Structure 1
Amino acid sequence: MMDVTKYHIGYYNPPKTEYRWVHKDHIEKAPAWCSVDLRDGNQSLIVPMSLEEKLEFFNLLVKIGFKEIEVGFPAASETEFEFLRTLIERDMIPDDVTVQVLTQCRDHIIRKTFEAVKGAPSAVIHFYNSTSVAQREQVFKKSKEEVKKIATDGAKLVKQLAGEYEGNFRFEYSPESFTGTEPEYALEVCNAVLDIMQPTPDKPMIINLPVTVAMSMSHIYANQIEYMSDNLKYRDSVVLSLHPHNDRGCAVADTELALLAGADRVEGTLFGNGERTGNVEIITLAMNLYSHGVDPKLDFSDMPAIVELYERVTRMHVYERTPYAGALVFAAFSGSHQDAIAKGMAWRAEHDLHEWTVPYIPVDPTDIGRTYDADVIRINSQSGKGGIGYLLEHRYGYNLPPKMREHFGYTVKSISDHAHKELTAPEVFQVFQNSYLNKTSPLNVAEAHYIQKNGIYAVVTLETGGEHREYSASGNGRLDAVSNAIKAGTGMDFSIEAYTEHSLTTGSTSQAATYVGLKWGDGTVTWGAGTDNDIIVASVKALVSAINNK
């Protein structure tokens, strides 16, 4: 049984009452990004990646544009040590990419970490210790001074070894479980570390303030970040970094508000894979910036390929509704949504717009390697005539008249409803062909000849049940004459209610598509479509198809 009395507020708001970040309405530029997929992401997999899989993932991150990549905790295991050494010895780290390694503030672990990064073109030594009330009291059983000394002793050793080892080193400190730490105490510890490391604008240090466990609403984290940003020493020499986890499902919001509050850098994973509920999703953050016209400095133009590699090497699944990357995030099944999207697409084309304004779709799917017909308009029993018509037109070139489009929409939805499944584009096209296109049974016009006499005089050979009979009639045009001949020969009672035509293709072999709607004596309306290189032949085929649909 649930018992709410077990729980209390475990976070700490800073001693500040006015915050500047609340008056900002957007993030003006991309932060520095650090992927921790090969550390937080990998350690959270049921089956961790093999060496070759990690190397492939590393290459993907480089291709996307990450300039900082945390490659692991090399002192923790031989596997992680070997991975880092392989990157260095195979010369796989580009000159403009910095690898980041993680180490606790413990003497032997720090020393082995420096051994691991020898020869790297550039490396961030990321050292940390936990500072929260719960960790101090329950895990370490140490006072504030004793916990601070762990941090400062670690900083001293890191600085000493940086002078003893050859390499291009940068440094990062994290007060782990920052969100469960009193802000004033977190500030005291970070400033003590900074006093030892003595960063400069030319050699800044990263201070990373992790949401190790999410405890508060997002605005509280932003308050904590602004307080730290305003009060850290050497602020012009500090890169203020975020590392949010997603325990409350708010990691993206935590990060965006914290960037408004003064943070400069974000550590996360592509799709949010990490401990417990995961890390913040960098793809979502970056694409959110992109959707506001801010260059994220990361390239997600081939999202399907990124998803494929990620799923293959991690054996994780990108949920279908994952923002931007999921298989269904652009999919519109609702009829009203499909109609709005189709009209929005038409509006852009008619007005030759560069700016993206289409309803329901926050970014142009083609920007990230998706397609309109396969990814946006999806057909099931909830679909509408607008989306079904859009798919038929843009995939196959058939632009049905509005009333026929509505009729076709109901036909498709009925089939999907009875089959209890989504219909693919080829299946939708097959329904169109079977239902309307060039139907020759039970009646067919085998031949039609025309004479200019009292308008147009048509001699029509009708085929029914294997028998051929010839009929003739006049009309105000060829189609009207054929229609009158059929009615005269069969006694059918109909009138041509609608007729449209257009070209399917261009060039000398262009095919024409025609559509005919017939209104019958009993008030019903039937539709037919026809295609042929000859527009008159196509029109007759559409007429016959509509008759055969009675």
Structure 2
Amino acid sequence: MNHDDLIYDWNRLPPSHDYAATTVELSDETLRDGLQNPSVTDPPIEKKIELLHLMADLGIHSADIGLPGAGPRAYEACLALAREIADTGLPIDVTLAARTVLADIEPAARIQEESGLKLEVATFIGSSPIRQYAEDWDVERILDATRGAIEFAVSEGLDVMYVTEDTTRSRPRTLARLFSAAVEAGARRICLADTVGHATPHGVRRLVRFAKDFAAGTGEPVKIDWHGHRDRGLGLANALAAIEEGVDRVHATALGIGERIGNVEMDLLLVNLRLLGTHDHPIDQLADYCRVTAEMCGIDIPYNYPVIGDDAFRTGTGVHAAAIIKAMQKGDRWLEDCVYSGVPASLVGRSQIIEISPVSGLSNVRHWLSHRGYDADDEALCTAVFRLAKKCNHTLSRGEIESEIARVQAERT
């Protein structure tokens, strides 16, 4: 049977939005925006280096490795990471964050000189009316800061991405003036930032179209980035909308860690792009990427976290398990992976797991026993375990099941 005949895909897009024909880069913000989350721990440099290598292993194109102007510790960490990339030839581009002030950009220029690595600096400044009012800024002041910072960065040989914070709540006329000033000063990449997670997919599409029209009119090779947060739970959907509208690069973080409740989840973005045919690099090390992030930041991965959580490919439900077991019996790994899962477990190096719970059928019990070397045709044994499950209010642990097996076996001797 042709696999394409077994799933009707309502997700197919018209040719103008075909993911398989889309080229989009991914920028990992875990070591910068991710570490700004107030509940995480800033890890030692060895762990940051380990994560950096995993980013490259997953085919992530670039990484924001920090804001070196934040202080000596931040500077040393950024320098060490840049040197690691330069010394090992790691295939990943590097971005350093900076406010639109010379005091932040100068450390980035020094890191470029000391590491010998070509760097991009992401100069950011608030652009929305609410931010201007709170800061007592006017547009002219923002324009002056923009021009001064970018001209200095360009003079130091840095590539420049200009980030308008809170872009999704900024006026079109203001954005046009700021973008124009940035490009005239030498920026060749502009970043649309949903800083407080305000946007909906519809708003993202409108904003990206606006930015693309602007870029097309500059006569310069200006690229467009999307940087989203998930305050309304729309981070991943917004990132996919931005990609469909043709942005050049999308920012995300491991496990979605970041300011407040965080950013677009890089791990989930990778899974979705792989399934949509855009990201062709293997992602079987995704679990390691998430595990290292969780360990180094001192956070837990929820059991029900998509794809990576303990329960992502685990079921104790009789109907679900029966279908998976029948698929297993056909000897087709793809069928086993997809009959009751929207993400193939094998895509990320995992497998389907059948448990025994109060809502299980006998097929769950037989499968569990056979996969652990017990006689699945032993009716008395199967019935005993099945009855135990029906008396409980939870999924049985291995210890509980084996205790019941031992009881049955003891009664026979």
Indicate how the Cα distance of structure 1 residues 320 and 210 shifts in structure 2: closer, same or farther if over 3 A, else same.
Answer: same
The equivalent of 2:122 in structure 1 is 126
SS in 1 for 2:121: strand
CA contact (8 A) 1:210 1:244 kept: yes
Cα deviation, 1:233-256, whole Å, max 9, x if unaligned, reads 447722211110111011000101
Taking structure 2 as the reference length, what is the TM-score of the superposition? 0.86
- Per-residue CA deviation, residues 271-321 of structure 1 (Å, 9 max, x unaligned), is 1000001010011011012233x1524543134433332222110111111
**Closer, same or farther: CA 110–357 of 1 in aligned 2, 3 Å:** closer
Matched, 1:34 2:27: yes
* Residue 63 of structure 1: how far off its partner (Å): 3.0
SS at match of 2:154: helix
| Pair 1:382 & 2:359 matched | yes
User: CA separation in 2, counterparts of 1:170 and 1:69?
Assistant: 14
- Residue of structure 1 in register with 2:279 after alignment: 296
For the residue of structure 2 that corresponds to 1:39, the secondary structure is coil
Q: Which moved more, 1:114-123 or 1:419-428?
A: 419-428
Equivalences for residues 430-469 of structure 1 within 5 A: 431=404, 434-435=407-408, 440=412
Q: Which deviates further from its counterpart, 107-116 or 409-418?
A: 409-418
For 1:428 and 1:290, the matched residues in 2 are separated by 38
Question: What residue number does 2:9 align with?
Answer: none
**1:216–1:121: structure 2 CA closer, same or farther, 3 Å change rule?**
closer
Letter of the 2:31 partner, please give it: L
TM-score with structure 1 length normalisation? 0.66
Any conservation in 1 of the 2:26–2:250 contact (CA below 8 Å)? yes
Contact kept in structure 1, 2:228 and 2:263, CA below 8 Å: yes
The whole-number CA distance in structure 1 between the counterparts of 2:171 and 2:301 is 36
More helix by share: 2
Report the Cα offset of residue 354 of structure 1: 5.4
The within-5 A match list for 1:490-509 is: none
Higher relative contact order structure (alpha carbons within 8 Å, sequence separation ≥ 6): 2
Cα 1:353–1:56 change in 2 (3 A) is closer
Take 1:107 and 1:353, find their aligned partners in 2: how far apart are those partners?
A: 56
- Corresponding residue for 1:209? 192
SS in 1 for 2:98: strand
Please give the alpha-carbon distance, in whole angstroms, between the structure 1 residues aligned to 2:218 and 2:364.
Answer: 57
Is structure 2 residue 276 aligned with structure 1 residue 282? no
- Contact kept, 8 Å, 1:331 with 1:378, in 2: the verdict is yes
Match of 1:251 among 210, 235, 260: 235
Tell me if 1:97 matches 2:69: no
Distance in 2 between residues matched to 1:282 and 1:339, nearest whole Å? 33
Partner of 1:422 in structure 2? 395
- 1:96-152 Cα deviation digits (max 9, x unpaired): 32221011111222222211322342211111111011111121x232233223222
Tell me whether 1:337 sits opposite 2:320 in the alignment: yes
Q: Secondary structure at the match of 1:386?
A: helix
CA contact (8 A) 1:339 1:385 kept: no
Partner residue of 1:48? 42
The Cα of 1:357 is off from its aligned counterpart by: 6.4
| C-alpha RMSD of the superposition | 2.9
Q: Distance in 2 between matches of 1:182 and 1:346?
A: 59
SS at match of 2:309: coil
Kindly report which structure 2 residues correspond to 1:111-510, keeping only aligned pairs within 5 A, or say none.
111-118=106-113, 119-139=115-135, 141-162=136-157, 169-197=158-186, 205-232=188-215, 233-234=217-218, 237-292=221-276, 294=277, 296-347=279-330, 349=331, 352=332, 358-372=338-352, 376-396=353-373, 398-400=375-377, 404=379, 411-416=384-389, 418=391, 420-425=393-398, 427-428=400-401, 431=404, 434-435=407-408, 440=412
Larger Rg: 1
SS in 2 for 1:69: strand
Which has the larger share of strand?
Answer: 1
Equivalent residue letter for 1:365: A
Q: Secondary structure at the match of 1:247?
A: coil
Alpha carbons 1:242, 1:267 under 8 Å: kept: yes
Shift of 1:87: 3.0
- Residues in 2 aligned to 1:427 and 1:30: alpha-carbon distance in whole angstroms: 51
Residue 376 of structure 2 contacts residue 382 of structure 2 at CA under 8 Å; is this kept in 1? no
C-alpha deviations, 1:50-91, integer Å up to 9, x for none?
233323322332333323111100011111100122234455
| Cα distance in 2, alignment partners of residues 89 and 240 from structure 1 | 27
Report the CA distance between 1:190 and its aligned residue: 1.1
> Which one-letter code corresponds to 1:381 in the other structure?
P
C-alpha distance in 1, partners of 2:271/2:248?
A: 17
Aligned to 2:8: none
Question: Residue 185 and residue 297 in structure 1: after superposition, are their counterparts in 2 closer, same or farther (change >3 A)?
Answer: farther
The separation in 1 between residues aligned to 2:309 and 2:16, in whole angstroms, is 30
Say if 2:327 and 2:336, in contact at 8 Å, map to a contact too: no
- Determine the C-alpha separation between the residues in 2 that align with 1:197 and 1:183: 21
Structure 2 counterpart of 1:84, from 57, 63, 78: 78
Q: How much has 1:184 moved relative to structure 2?
A: 3.4
Partner secondary structure for residue 100 of structure 1: strand
- Partner of 1:38, secondary structure, is coil
The answer to whether the 8 Å contact 2:201/2:241 transfers is: yes
Does the CA-based 8 Å contact 1:30-1:289 persist in structure 2? no
Distance in 1, matches of 2:79 and 2:167, equals: 31
Aligned residue number for residue 73 of structure 1: 67
Specify the code of the residue in structure 2 equivalent to 1:206: R
Q: 1:224 to 1:32 in 2, by over 3 A?
A: same
Between the aligned partners of 1:227 and 1:385, the Cα distance in structure 2 is 58
Alpha carbons of structure 1 residues 354 and 325: separation in structure 2 relative to 1, 3 Å: closer
